[in-house]
Structure 1
Amino acid sequence: MVSLEQARFACTYERTRCDRSFATIGDKSFATMSADSSARGRIRLLALDADGTLVGPDGVVRPAVKEAVAMAQDQGLLVVVCTGRRYRTARPILEELDLDGPVVVHNGVVVKNARTGETTEQHFLPDEFFAPVMEIMGDLGPPLVYVDRYFDGIDLYAEPSDRCHEFQAEYLESNPNVVHEVESVAALPTGSVVMISSMADSESLLTLKGRIEGQFGDRVQTNYIMNTNYRGHILEVTRAGVSKWTALAKICEGLGIAPSEIAAIGDDTNDIEMIINAGMGIAMGNAVDEVKRVADYETESNARDGVARAIERLLR
């Protein structure tokens, strides 16, 4: 597997060689990208975030984006969706875009075949962290426990919605078919937990995040991200060292694709590592500032077909 340090070195070298550095976000224009005539020749894989990137503010893949992704595939680029979604909720997007290669879900914890749903890679939370993490997160109400049981029709376990934060309750009530309700999530068997997650207001989740990081340090991974389709934010706890980028790097290693041959587009903090390490990192116009600061270029927002605009420029 390509290490994070190796990937960063490779991408730093490529960026230095091509003199693609910018002092401010405003300098990262697509005019500069179009002028880089060697850009298209280097890119073999297009890594795309879903919510806030591929998907518009209305939750739909816009026609221009769909056409641009098809154009990229027609020109030989491998398109890999890298999302925090679980496979079941990512699948409609994959089907609409007619993708049949790998898909990175659960922020890199699981990699599946986009067409069949078969798991090709998974990194469960070590048993030793389950109980203490549950204890901390339980202070905000019972968290969600995600598993990789797509073919059994179970994506996550949860306690009754009236016990949890109102934002999480809204999510549970909207997804009854794949939520397996139990009396106590803390009593669930360990060994196959994809992640532990809570949905709530920003202040409450950041407090939990600080406590978890204070107790476990880098022995677990925490992801604090926007809840694009519901209210508030999401705090996820997964196995340490797992991310969209680590999953993507392993996919690329198996295909003989170098980090410098990847273009990545995203909008939230869980996309930062991917955007830093890709040969070409592109921030959505609606991206958080942390993403814009590390990206090579900035495209339009997801309300203005930003992915389509980026692909069109990339393929010129």
Structure 2
Amino acid sequence: MAIQLLISDLDGTLLGPESVITPGTAAALERVRQAGLRLLVTTGRAWGTAAPLLQQAGVSCDFVLLNGAEYRTAQGELVRAVPLPPATARHAVAVLRRYDLGVEINTDAGDFTTDTELCPTAQPLPRLAAFWAGQPQVRKIFAFSRNPDALARARQTLQDLPDAAVTASADWNLEVTARDAQKGTMARWVAQRYGIAPDQALVFGDGCNDLSLFRAFVHTRAMGNAAAPLQALAERVIEPNTEDGVAREIERLLMEK
């Protein structure tokens, strides 16, 4: 296959168990650059928590952030944003708080949270009336709880919102974005911007918030530690992130080239 673009999730995929890019993976990504292939990172993280991880490893690439709500260049320039409709954002936050879930709200004016220990780069969320009075453009709502029943009830309540996409990156959270702000949708848009066809991309992921990616592209690799639905959808299952699975698959790809 004539792969021209690598698309990879971060946590549980490109990152090792210590939530950093290992030296082996960094070396493999450098060989990708030398081979003339592009790298696009797709993550639920915001720019401020995603970019430093790549910079520390000496890797430069563009980003699909907040599960597809933003596309930024390697320098952090915002090229495209897909926010939640204001009424949908307000309703979603009200539902999440009704079930006593913690939230982090990513907006054009910064990130705000009910728990600055869990989300240390965000500002404390003010009273909701004051928050909404500022008319923020909400790009993603991240909800979290150790109560699985509360998460399930909130997800069920939000699932039928016509303008929203509801997913999760782990069993203790929920992630809400606009219907068109999904990893797969934004990554397809970026690939088209690069002039790269969907069958010229190789995708890596591990979580259910990567399902849209695996549906949007032909060549997909689920990590050995990936969620069962993603493994079932993948073209191939590779080694887990604890064994530098992305780096090993890159080596196989480059040997084929």
TM-fit CA distance, 1:80: 0.7
Alignment of 1:113-128 (within 5 A): 113-114=73-74, 116-128=75-87
- Among 135, 138, 144, the alignment partner of 1:190 is 135
State the secondary structure of the residue aligned to 1:287. coil
Structure 1 131/148 Cα, relative in aligned 2: closer, same or farther at 3 Å? closer
CA distance in structure 2 between the aligned counterparts of 1:158 and 1:288, rounded to whole angstroms? 27
Contact 1:158 1:185 in 2 (8 A): no
State the secondary structure of the residue aligned to 1:225. coil
Percent of matched pairs sharing the same residue? 28
- Residue in 1 that maps onto 2:145: 200
Contact 1:157 1:185 in 2 (8 A): no
CA distance in structure 1 between the aligned counterparts of 2:89 and 2:59, rounded to whole angstroms? 34
Structure 1 98/278 Cα, relative in aligned 2: closer, same or farther at 3 Å? farther
TM-fit CA distance, 1:63: 1.2
- Residue in 2 that maps onto 1:210: 156
Contact 1:110 1:123 in 2 (8 A): yes
Contact 1:45 1:261 in 2 (8 A): yes
Asked if 1:109 corresponds to 2:61, the answer is no
Structure 1 52/246 Cα, relative in aligned 2: closer, same or farther at 3 Å? same
State the secondary structure of the residue aligned to 1:315. helix
Count of residue pairs the alignment pairs up: 251
TM-fit CA distance, 1:265: 0.5
- Residue in 2 that maps onto 1:224: 168
- Residue in 2 that maps onto 1:15: none
- Residue in 1 that maps onto 2:12: 52
Structure 1 238/199 Cα, relative in aligned 2: closer, same or farther at 3 Å? same
Contact 1:131 1:186 in 2 (8 A): no
TM-fit CA distance, 1:185: 3.2
Alignment of 1:24-173 (within 5 A): 39=1, 42-114=2-74, 116-141=75-100, 143-149=103-109, 154=110, 156-159=111-114, 169=115, 172-173=116-117
TM-fit CA distance, 1:274: 1.1
Question: Which 5+ residue runs of structure 1 have no aligned equivalent?
Answer: 1-38, 160-168, 227-231
CA distance in structure 2 between the aligned counterparts of 1:256 and 1:108, rounded to whole angstroms? 19
CA distance in structure 1 between the aligned counterparts of 2:151 and 2:16, rounded to whole angstroms? 26
CA distance in structure 1 between the aligned counterparts of 2:236 and 2:33, rounded to whole angstroms? 22
Structure 1 272/174 Cα, relative in aligned 2: closer, same or farther at 3 Å? closer
Provide the aligned C-alpha RMSD in A: 1.7
Question: Which 5+ residue runs of structure 2 have no aligned equivalent?
Answer: none
Q: Which amino acid aligns with 1:124?
A: P
- Residue in 1 that maps onto 2:251: 312
TM-fit CA distance, 1:132: 1.8
Alignment of 1:249-264 (within 5 A): 249-264=188-203
TM-fit CA distance, 1:50: 0.3
> Which has the larger helix fraction?
1
